[in-house]
Amino acid sequence: MTEDIPIRDPEQIRQNCARKLHAVEVSEHFQAILGCLLNEDWTTPRLVEMAVTPDGAFLGRCDGQPGFSTFLGAAADLIRNIHGVAPVAELDGDEVGYLVAKVAETKRQR
């Protein structure tokens, strides 16, 4: 028999993911991206919004900027980096899925 694992709501998943990732040492650039995906204030200036262009470029808007003027890299690289940090941070499938879904949301915003 399998044990019943309680279903976590998205906010619980976000909080667990943020706690685990904040404990892992990553570049300040990646930390800003993760902080934005998780709605956390981890860097100065704070990355407050991100979008993916039709050609796959990942752009960001820092606190106080009027528009998307910060090039963050390629969206495909971000997905690879999320999957790369997941085992280090001991993220579970729900937490990885949460982050990937947040990246997908940035694609729909443009």
Task: Give pTM, 2 decimals.
Answer: 0.88
pLDDT above 80 (res 1): no
Instruction: Using DSSP bridges, classify how beta strands 47-52 and 70-74 pair: parallel, antiparallel or unpaired.
Output: unpaired
pLDDT the model gives residue 3: 67
Average the pLDDT over 9-30 and give the result.
95
Structure token pair of residue 90: 């001991």
Q: Could you tell me the residue ranges of all domains in the chain? A: 10-109
Average the pLDDT over 94-100 and give the result.
96
pLDDT digits (tens, 9 = 90+) for 42-86: 999 899 999 988 888 889 999 888 888 889 999 889 999 999 999
Distance, C-alpha 11 to centroid of its chain: 14
pLDDT the model gives residue 109: 57
